[in-house]
């Protein structure tokens, strides 16, 4: 594990009660948010660390302390997966010419 991965991991709390905001972690480490997300992705996928993200008023990253917290994290990720799946379905089946008609209809409004 790289030193940066260790630093990121130390900043992610165990337990859902106090998730740590990604922007806060990125700021502390002098990273942009995309770079932090890439590193967290690697910690999860390559290192097998169960980091989840909580959304809402109190949002941020945390490591589940128990199966209830793990399932809540999975539930939020599953909702995101379903939304992205719908987007993917549209991209796969989209007519690559149909948008041109929509642009013609609104051409006078620009």
Tell me: the pLDDT tens digits for 17-49? Answer: 999 999 999 999 999 999 999 999 999 999 999
pTM (predicted TM-score): 0.78
Q: Identify the pLDDT of residue 108.
A: 60
Q: Would you say residue 101 lies in a domain? A: no
Domain range for 22 is 3-96
**What is the pLDDT of the chain when averaged over all its residues?**
93
Mention every residue, 6+ apart, whose C-beta is less than 8 A from residue 21: 59, 60, 61
List the CATH number of the domain containing 35.
1.10.10
Q: Would you say residue 34 lies in a domain? A: yes
Q: Would you say residue 109 lies in a domain? A: no
Q: Would you say residue 110 lies in a domain? A: no
Q: Would you say residue 77 lies in a domain? A: yes
Q: Would you say residue 108 lies in a domain? A: no
- Give me the number of domains the chain comprises: 1
């Amino acid at each position: 594990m790289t030193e940066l991965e260790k630093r990121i991991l130390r900043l992610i709390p165990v337990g859902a009660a106090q998730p740590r905001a990604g922007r806060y972690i990125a700021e502390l480490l002098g990273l942009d948010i995309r770079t932090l997300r890439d590193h967290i992705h690697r910690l999860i996928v390559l290192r097998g660390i169960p980091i989840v993200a909580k959304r809402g008023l109190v949002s941020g990253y945390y490591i589940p302390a128990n199966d209830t917290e793990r399932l809540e994290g999975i539930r939020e990720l599953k909702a995101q997966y379903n939304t992205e799946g719908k987007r993917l379905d549209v991209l796969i089946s989209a007519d690559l010419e149909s948008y041109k008609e929509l642009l013609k209809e609104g051409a006078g409004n620009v």
